[in-house]
Amino acid sequence: MKCEHYFNVNNIFPGLWVRVATIYFVGRAASWLRSSRAHLRFPMWGDFCAAVSEKFDREQHENLIRQMDSIKQSGTVWEFYERFDELMNQLLVYDPGVSAKYLTHRFIEGLRREIRNPVLLQRPKTLETVLSVALLQEEVLENPQVSSVKEVKRMEGNSSFRSSGKGPWPLPQPPGKSGSFSLMNRPEEKRSTDTVRSPTNSTDKVTALKAYRRAQGLCYICVEKWSPTHKCAASVQLNVVQELFSLFLEGGAQESQEISILSYAKAGELMAISVQAIQGSEPDGTMRMLGQVQGTEVLILVDSGSSGSFISSQIAAGLKGVQSLPRQLSVRVANGGTLNCDAMIPHCEWQVQGHRFKTTLRILPLISYDMILGMDWLKEHNPMSVNWSQKTIKINLLGAVVTLKGV
């Protein structure tokens, strides 16, 4: 599917699909191609795909079914769900008609016993409901305070003076030195206990926030309704950002944390890239253009959902001016993943539709697009006029208004 998408984006003639695809064969696949000469025996794309599938995809469907029948929880509920979701998506490629009830049943059976039994009592109907209940049960089991409260209640229920029903009730505790009874001090004790129970650092606060959002059935990144097919939007609602800032800046440490956040951003660590730039889709807020970098034709995506500008490592391998970064950067993908960046091309010259630009491009292992122009490039040429529906950008370049059109 990725190959065909690449061919369509680059308008490659169908008769050349097999020859273009064989360029990317490496390792064991390249050895098989040389020995079998399948690209010569099967010049048609459909026949060539069948030959590749026969060689490398044999009995894969049966292996996935066996893995689904034996998958078990070994870590947290969320880690188990991520492994299960990846296996489920692979299985659905071979058999899209797999029953949702079967998948829900397999997920429940894979949970640990102390989590599975309470989940079964709730009789959940969907996989999303199972995940929410399992996360709540895991939180209860990991909270020692809940266990201690249950133990106290059990001991009180088994007390000798309660079980026998005879004998005097225990006398209240004597007054303290100040003359006030200990019962009068219980509100202060409760307040001190609540203070201890509250999160004391940023890690605890983030963990509590993520657990709350999962329990509510929301994505803990974009706070939208979560489902197995959920994909985070390219932009995040303002109230979500405000919630995070209020979470980190409370407790009298606002000034120091603001400084750390600003220095973190200035150091180039705070970078993000949208899911669309990775998957090759073109939703609202993006625009495709054809350009050139040092004489090499590239497919460019103007993406308002990416914080920086990037270039494919495959394209950068043939370019000049590549510099290694002093330390590796992690670029956050909107779906929660990360990509590593260890090189860049500062002030890289490129052109599009006869107009020349210079942009610092960080090198990432991109697949769907050759080059990404993010918010840093958009801000550099601000103010501008962008019409996302008509795919046009009007910017002021060297004193003249220039119109760039998407493809």
pLDDT on residue 110: 93
- 137-143-147 Cα angle (round to 5): 95
pLDDT on residue 55: 77
pLDDT on residue 380: 86
Q: Which of 114, 109, 113 is nearest to 127 (CA)?
A: 109
pTM of the complete model beyond 0.95:
no
Spans of the chain below 50 pLDDT: 146, 149, 152, 159-166, 177-200, 251-269
Domains of the chain: residue spans and CATH:
2-56 (no CATH), 272-405 (2.40.70.10)
Residue matched to tokens 């998957």: 279
Query: Tens of pLDDT along 232-282?
Result: 776 555 556 556 655 555 544 444 333 333 333 344 445 777 766 676 666
What is the distance between the alpha carbons of residues 318 and 334, in angstroms, rounded to a whole number? 29
pLDDT on residue 67: 87
pLDDT on residue 375: 84
Q: How far does Cα 2 stand from its chain's mean position?
A: 20
pLDDT on residue 76: 92
pLDDT on residue 181: 44
What is the distance between the alpha carbons of residues 269 and 329, in angstroms, rounded to a whole number? 6
pLDDT on residue 260: 36
Q: Helix, strand or coil for residue 256?
A: helix
Q: Which of 279, 280, 240, 270 is nearest to 362 (CA)?
A: 270
pLDDT on residue 51: 84
Tokens of 301: 């995506």
